[in-house]
Structure 1
């Protein structure tokens, strides 16, 4: 007997099966929704800038660490290639 699918797995499977045009449309709509949500939530845009820079710095640090330890970043970017 198979365990029930989790909702996030069902959604990701559905998105993977969609044609590229639908994926592009979903990406554009998601991006626009995220921008509207950020505009409504963030009142002080300086804090948003600081948070974005902090996340960017952490990402670069992870890449540097991974390059020094494993000489590759393939695992970090592997999930991006699965989307296409």
Structure 2
């Protein structure tokens, strides 16, 4: 179970069964970019926990499309404002 979150890919195999909303969410985003889902539905505590989980070596393999890039820029402005 290795979703991309930002510029990193995480190995969530050990966290999968502990995910509060169910392991199906981890499964759904395996090998996919889960950056926006993480930002939309997770607390600061969840981001702190993410820092303790293993990062897979190597470059993230999912390149966001233009719509996703624009959404992320817009969201960053909203959060900043």
User: What's the TM-score, normalizing by structure 1?
Assistant: 0.28
Pick the structure with more strand per residue.
Answer: 2
Pick the structure with more helix per residue.
Answer: 1
* Bigger radius of gyration: 1
User: What's the TM-score, normalizing by structure 2?
Assistant: 0.29
